[in-house]
Structures are given as structure tokens and as C-alpha cells.
Chain A
């Protein structure tokens, strides 16, 4: 009989829906059906387990450019030797890895003396920089659900990037003090494109791309009593709209800002987040106000948490000294390291730098040994010297992940991975042991 597994966490986005129901085949090898999950999550579950399309052995690139299956033992040995030989190896990714994997990776890179970075480096790294300067007045998603009556999505498009965010947490749910659901809330969407999220807004503000900072500044002016001095139009938004929306925020019982890549990726980067946090602080003089980053992958918050408790820094770690760690985004961030060609070995894990880095950065990294650790074929794996398949966290491996609000969610294994395929943690621990062995033998 097929088995139904409930309370399963979804390994797609940072909303970390944990109410998924998965129907699994008799032999426990395939997912047959999923419920309570968005269209994207469905695809991921369908990829797990043991089936024909799954890659079951590491693949090593041959001199003629083709890939050949090799044993996990060879893959472990190759990875360990690559790390030991390199002066400044970089391990990057981790958005789709559990926290146990992040901890194992940290141990490996501390031993190897390399750089360690996660996808925040190209996503919410700007948020970290702003938090370093200005703090982070936030809350958990349940607080938003139970209390918030004004919701702002700024430079984020959950209808596409976090499909169940609005229904589970922010706009539609009936919470303790928000019993009328959508009717209890005013929704403000600020984005240069009239997105599908914009379509559900009570106020849609089409900000001029790259000019968010000015608009934040205008809202802050209202908070500080300088409304009269605002120009007639700011960043494409008329003054009267700014004043009206500012009053909505000030008169909220509980206001929350959700913001996304629109702020992080535009000119100004961390300064856009910094002023968003300042506006949140200002609004606390009038009412209760919190802010939250719309983290992308289901566990991209995880490496920031794990490495903060292990090293004190969430990303862009330079462990090359082996006895202490430093972090200096711009210097120790993956894309910058790549563009300066400082990296002499690259491990792509639980992400796809091949598709998501600007192509000049990929070209630099590819001059040196290039390894991908990921369950599936992706662009990085297809240019790698070695591709190591691993279990899919949340489908054929359990583990802890951190939701966008830093709440830990315990994920479950729902199907069996193909025999012999390790988890990220198991593979990295084996690499660590091999490095210790090689060092003992006087390798390098």
C-alpha cells in the first residue's frame, strides 16, 4: 500500500511550508503524489527517491571532455586532494543543504584553509551588511499572521518567488487578532514592475527602478515631521500618495515590511536595506513595526546561522589562516574573489553557480579545478571536473533547516535515496577523514 506522510517540510523556498502531505510508493522509493504544495515544490518531490533519471554515481571529466562514472571513494579522494593542493580553495552554495551539511563543510574548510561562502553572497548579503550597521527589528511569521494589519512587500514578488507566503503567513490567513483574514489587512506593494503580487495590493506604488532609497527617505521625512519639504514627485511616486501611504503605516496596529532582491540587487545595495531598517525603527515611535528579508532558498538562512555560531560570521568567510577567521564582503565574497582570480579550486555545493553567477565569474573559476556536489545535473555540474550526486535534503534526507524568519524547521526523509548515495554531511565528513589521512601520509 502506498503510504501517506504528513507534516513534511518543502525544500523549495524560504517560506518552508511544513504542512506538505506526500504519498510514497510501497517500496518507499518514489513519491507518487504531493498535497499542500506549490507548483515548484511538486517538481522537487517528484525528483527524489530511486528512479531511472537519478544520478547514482559520481562522474569525472575525462581528457576528451566526456564524463565517466567513478566510485564515491575516488570522488572523496579527488576532492580531498584538490582541497589540500589548493592555496585558496572556495566552497560556495548551501542554499539546498541541511544544517548538518553546513557544519560538516565548515569543518572541512577550516582544515583545508579556504574560503567558505553561501548564496547570500549574491542574494541577501546586502541585508547582512545593513544588519551589521543598523540591526534587525523583526519577528516570526506567526506574529505577522496573528497581529499584522499592514503588510508591505517592497522589491519582492512572493506570487512568483514564495508562492504560499501570502496565503500561509501574510495576507490571507485568519490569525488570533486578525480574524477576518484578508479583510483585516491593508496590503502595500512597492515594485518597478506591476507584478502579480502588485495585483493583490490595496496600494501599488510603481517606484522608479534603482530609486528606492529616495522613496524610503520620503517616508522617513514624514515620520520626522518634514512632510512639507517632500518634492511633488519622488522616485516616480506623487507626494500625495506618499503622504497617504505613510499615514497607513503610522496608523497600523502592527506593520511589517517584507523586502526582497529588488532592494538587494539594485544600486545602493545595503544602503537600501539600511534605510528600510531605519524606517522600521522610526515607525516604532508611532506603532509596532517589524521587517523581514524574503530569503530565497528553503535553507539559505541555515549557513548564516550555523557559521555565525561556529565562527561569528554568516558568510564570506576566509579561513585561509586556519587559526582564525575573517570576513570582508567585497574582498572575501565569491564573485569578487572569482573576478580577481584569487581562487585556485572551486566547490559548488547545493546550488548552481554555473547558471547564477555572471558568466565572467564562471569563466575565471573554470580555469582551476571545479567540483559540483548536487543531487541533479545543472549548469555547474556540466562544466565540472567532478560531479558528486548526494541525497536531496527534505526528500530523501532529513535535517534541520532555517526558515526566512530564523525559525528552525525539522525536515523529514520521505523516500529512500538510491543505495550508496551519501548525504552532503556524509560525503563531507568522508572528505575530512581523507584529508586527515593524506596529511598524515605527508601529502603536500
Chain B
């Protein structure tokens, strides 16, 4: 393995507080070191360029069963829009739901090194791990979906937090999962009967628990265990006009709950794709932005974080464990609809969607995403995502960065809309002059997500001793380009990407792959006979798969990297 010195770049590293200083970075044995420690390594001239840690995506649907149904269901997603293979890489196919190879390479070209797969149905965990194996370069963690899990509904209904914690630890171990994902709490179980929960107080059929009780109980469970990441919530009532009230109700559940972990995380609730949850109005006719009402709350409460889920105005493929939402969306656009209800656990729906810039609602959604990021006071708690591929494919992150950094870029687009006046009236984007800095972009794309997930000792930083995951962008902070397109271009294809000290991308071309890792959370808890009995009973009676075959075999995990948590006390 070669050693390197990256010389004269402008370094942005929020976790060490470096704000664009010229600084040399050393790479030795795959780790970041003081530049002076590198003797005889190769020199990379980064003068006039921006140096950041490898990107960290806190919420992306990149691997697993519903992503794969999206690929299978949409042959048209491959037409005309796939790259031609170069060099000794594998074929890259697909646009909104790219193949595993295309996903790994495309993230590497954008300078990313860590992805958090946002929704792993526990029953399908071996599938997720197979796809992780086939996604090159980037390290991946996957969150098992638990917000509608029968064990949790029963334990939380009875306020048996210790049992719930023991079960959660068992499930993370069985699925080799990373943290607790909660999607449309209670609503997806209701979908088993074709119903839904649209407020946090709707009782779940049969189980007779409310979404509020689920979210609160899971937050407490998370802090009881001291997991690296906080509870990761997709609240009820996604995508409906007026849903910001449900969002505020959900966020308020975190009041009074304190973080408990050894990983440097200081939030207890992460609201994912907040854009889809910040809608005002009562119907699609009077639909308008609720971003200010939501951000006033978020800015004033520092134990919550969010990612945006920016709408990128593309044809894409929506997919979520929020089964009833996808059914509802399908009734709006009448395109093809796939659904998979997963026994005792969750569901998933998939519907293609065209965010058409000639449709007012789509443009308002686009504006809401940008407003959230521009209203945010602390970008360590505001993360860049497109809820890939729901609001747009992850390959549009550079375009989002352009809109965030350039008022001109977003104004030009806003004024080009067919219904621009109506869009302007329903939003406040036009009045906003803020342009984010490269430092804030670094917070949104690596430092903030890494801190929120409790992995900042391994990812998202250029601290000495961490893995040498580095992105070097061809953009000069002292001479920011006048043409915003150049911002997009710079973030689309790095000058260099390093993964674990190996140069994997050079001038936007993938030149090498390197072993990649599966990150998961290994939680030790006290023995719990009640939970063990419950697990055996549910598998004997209700699951269609044997308990011993449900747990992911070690041989099916690709390069595991475990985060140890001791919760035996």
C-alpha cells in the first residue's frame, strides 16, 4: 500500500474545526497521519483544491429487497441513462435505482466512503448483506426496521423497556444491523389490514398501542442501550398536506430525553427526510410550505437532528417501508405499484414517480427542501440526503449543493417554472439570500452525519488515526466559480478519492477498488429468559422461517466491522 502526502489543499474538517486552512494531510498504512510522518510517499498536489473527509450518507436506500424490486420492476430505468463501462470495472446499470456496482462507483466518484442503508427488513437481512458484498468501495451499515415489529409493539405497550432493549440487542445481532429504524410507527402494521395511522395518537389495530408510545419507547430503549446512532424516525403521515403538525407532535416526544452513549452523539431523535414532513395547507390545491414552523422548533431544540430528503425534480423510484403511503401515492399517479408485507415486522411499497418541474406541487416540494437547509442554524444537525431514491437519486447531491451554495442557481430554476408565481406564493425560497459555505456543506455531508451516527472516530473526519477516507474536489474556496454549474461539476467527480488509503478515483474515473466493510453494532446485554422464550415462541408459531435460519450466518457477512456496546449494567 502506498503512502501519500496531500499538499497545499484547502481543508474543511468540522470535527476538528478546520475551516478551509491550507494544510497537508498524510496517509500512512491506510490511516490519516501528521504529514511529517510520511517518508517517501507519493505527493498529491491539492493546491487550489478543497480537501474533505470521505462523505457519509446518513439515509440512503442503496441495498436490499425493496431497492432490488425497484431495479427489477423498472427496466426503463436502465434505458439511455447508464454509463458505459470503463477499464477493469464491472458494468454499471441504472439511474434512479442503480445496480450495486453502479452505486459503489458513483458514490466513490462523489467522494463518499460510508453509507447507511435506511431500511433493512430483518427477515431479509441475508439479502441486504449479499448486496453489501457486491457494492464496491464504500462501507455500509444497515438499520433494521422496528417501528411495527410485533415484539416491540407488545413490549412497549406493556412498558417493558428492559425486555424491549434485550430484544433490540438480539435483533441487531441476528441481522448484523446498525441501529433502530422506525418507519410510520404503527401505520405499517395497520397496513397489514389495508389501514394506516396518520396521527401519533391513532391506535394500532389489535395491538392497541399508539405511534407516540412506540416512538417514545424506542427512544428510551436506544438510550438505555447506549447505541452509537440515535433513534432514526420516519414519522407518521408522510407526504400529506398539513402534516407538519404530526411532525411537530413527533419531534416533541424527544423533549426531556437525554443522550446516553460513549460515541460523542448528542441527539436522541433523528427525523429523516424532513422535507416530506414539512407540508402546510389542507389539500393539494392549497398546498404550501411548512418549513418555517418546523425549523423554528428544530432550531430551538438541540437534542434532535434531521436529514432533508431534497427533491431533485427527476423521474425516480419511490420506495419505503411506509406501505400505506405507497398505496396512496399509487392511487394518485396510477403507475405500477409493488408491495411486500413482511410477517411480524414491516412492509415495503415501491412506485415510480416523476417530479415534474411543470407541476406546482413538485416545485413546492423542491423549495421546501432547500428552505429547511437554509433556515437551519446548526448544520451539524441538518444533513444532506435525497432519501435516495425517493426524492431523487443520490447522484444529484452535487446539484443540491449547487442550489444551496448559489442563490442564482436556485432563482434561475425557480423563475423558469411554468407555475413559478404560484410556487413563489406558496414558499419563501425566493426571499432567502443565504448561500451555504463549503464548511457548512462539509457539516451536512460528512461531519454531522458521522457525529449523529456515533461513528465520528472512524468516518467523516480527517483526524489523525482515522481511516484515510478522503475526497479532494476541484474547487478553490478563494476563487469560487461565478458559474454555479462548476460547483455541481466539482462535487460530481472528485479529483481524487481515497478509501482506506487507496486511491480509488482519479479525475472522476474509478481506477481501483479496495476491501470494503460492513459496519454493525454488537450489543451485549444481560441474559433475559423472558425475551428468549418470547423469541422461541414467535418463531415456533408465527414466522415462516426457522429461528436458526433467520440469524445471518457469519459466512454471509462481508468484512464485518463491529461497534462494541456493553449494556450489561
Contact = CB atoms under 8 A, between A and B. Distances in A.
A and B touch in the complex (CB under 8 A): yes
A305 B546 contact: no
Interface string A135-159: 1111111110111000000000000
B341 A128 contact: no
Determine the main DSSP class of A at the interface with B.
Answer: mixed
Contact of B340 (A140, A306, A322, A323): A140
A134 interface: yes
Contacts of A176: 150, 344, 541-542
A137 B337 contact: yes
Interface stretch (A49-57, A76-84, A193-201, A311-319): A311-319
A49 B78 CA distance: 43
A9 B549 contact: yes
Contact of B68 (A107, A132, A141, A309): A309
Interface in B523-569: 541-549, 552-553, 555-556
Contacts of B548: 6-7
Contacts of A139: 339-343, 347
Interface in B174-208: 192-194, 206
Contacts of B543: 142
A99 interface: yes
Contacts of B130: 99, 306, 309, 400, 408
A135 B74 CA distance: 9
B99, B126, B340, B543 pick with most chain A CB within 10 angstroms: B340
A216 to B, nearest CB: 17
Interface stretch (A264-272, A283-291, A351-359): A283-291
A326 B552 CA distance: 33
Contacts of B337: 135, 137, 281
Interface in B89-139: 90-91, 93-94, 97-101, 123-127, 130-131, 134
A110, A174, A408 pick with most chain B CB within 10 angstroms: A408
Contact of A305 (B68, B73, B82, B547): B68
A176 B347 CA distance: 17
Given A110-B91, A131-B338, A176-B541, A308 B553 contact: no
B52 to A, nearest CB: 29
Contacts of A86: none
Contact of B72 (A128, A288, A400, A405): A128
Interface residues of A, number: 65
Contacts of A408: 124-127, 130
B126 A135 contact: no
Contacts of A103: 134
Interface bracket on B: 35 or more
A444 interface: no
A410 B127 CA distance: 10
Nearest to B73: A131
Nearest to B65: A406
A302 to B, nearest CB: 10
A290 B191 CA distance: 12
A235 interface: no
A310 B373 CA distance: 34
Interface in A150-175: 168-169, 174-175
Contacts of B350: 135
Contact of B338 (A138, A254, A314): A138
Contacts of B126: 400, 408-410
Given A138-B340, A309-B71, A407-B545, A288 B194 contact: yes
A128 B101 CA distance: 23
A169 B544 CA distance: 7
Given A168-B544, A305-B72, 20 more contacts: A19-B546, A99-B130, A131-B73, A131-B338, A134-B336, A135-B330, A135-B339, A135-B350, A138-B339, A139-B341, A142-B343, A142-B344, A142-B543, A284-B327, A308-B68, A310-B90, A325-B78, A400-B130, A406-B124, A409-B545
**Which 9 pairs between the two chains have the least Cβ-Cβ distance?**
A142-B343, A135-B336, A142-B544, A139-B341, A288-B194, A408-B126, A135-B337, A312-B93, A323-B85
Interface of A: 6-7, 9, 18-19, 99, 103, 107, 110, 128, 131-143, 145-147, 168-169, 174-177, 253-254, 281, 284, 287-288, 290, 304-306, 308-314, 319, 322-327, 398, 400, 402, 405-410
